[in-house]
Amino acid sequence: MNLVQEVIDWFADADNWSGRRGVWHQLREHVRMSGVATLAACLLALPPAVWLGHKRRFGSVAVNVSNVGRAIPSFAILVIATQQFGLLEYPIVGSFTTFLALVALAVPPLVTNAYVAVAEVPDELRDAARGMGMSEGELLRRVELPVAAPLLMAGVRTAAVQVVATATIAAFVGADGLGRFIIDGRAVNDQAEIFAGALLVALLSLLTEGGLALVQSAVTPRGLREADVPTGAEAAALAVATVPPPDGRGTP
């Protein structure tokens, strides 16, 4: 196919890599935008979700937030926010409306996984910790959080990968990022540029997935290493699937 050669030529062209519109700049912007949004979403979502998990309260609320969240397209949030607030630019955050859309995307998987991870810590472990005289704070810090860490990190991983994949849409409101190549290429009907952009986003997503998988296994306590730790997307599906919908428990 001719397109393959065109894409190779596109990557071979040094002009496409440097400058304000080059790959390096857009890659940096993409990573910065995704990183800031994921971090903000973690700060916003994890403390309450972990606390609710510790209290084992409002579980169905946490899971339902995640389910409704899936139905709202991120770029709809982006478009509505942009029409409401205009093209705001802030330091660190960058395009404010993109930031909003990405944070809204990341919160549901973080909440579901953090809640389920902490709430599912076995009762024997909690009882043993309390029996050893641990306070509630110690129980959370020294027992629940370490045991919950792998599943909690799986949520962070799912969220981060979705954010990296979705940050592409920032280009729709004129912000930078790897989406620029897809949108600009589409505007001038340059198939090679579209394809190159799509390839770069897909590669960055896979890198994020792989990198955070390493972090996930690093935060897994030694005693739990042997256990089968689900991947990010799996854990998200698992988390929702294992908390069955109201009429989900049907085995006679």
**Are 194 and 6 spatial neighbours (Cβ–Cβ below 8 Å)?**
no
**67 HSE (CA, 13 A, CB side):** 13
Residue 8 near another protein by CB under 8 A: no
Tell the smallest beta-carbon distance from residue 192 to another protein (Å): 9
Residue 246 near another protein by CB under 8 A: yes
Binding region for another protein (CB under 8 A) out of 21-29, 52-60, 86-94, 239-247? 239-247
Is 222 or 249 the residue whose CB approaches another protein more closely?
Answer: 249
CA angle 183, 188, 190 (to 5 degrees): 85
Among 31, 79, 88, 93, binds another protein (CB under 8 A): 79
Could you give the CA distance from residue 112 to residue 240 in angstroms, rounded to a whole number?
Answer: 8
Q: What is the dihedral of CA 135, 141, 143, 147, to 10 degrees?
A: 160
CA angle 73, 78, 84 (to 5 degrees): 130
Binding region for another protein (CB under 8 A) out of 112-120, 134-142, 145-153, 166-174? 166-174
Q: Which neighbouring-strand residues pair with 94? A: 90
Q: Return residues touching another protein (CB under 8 A).
A: 3, 67-68, 70-73, 75-76, 79-80, 82-83, 161, 164-166, 168-169, 172, 179, 182, 186, 191, 194-195, 197-199, 201-202, 205-206, 209, 231, 233-234, 237-238, 240-241, 244-252
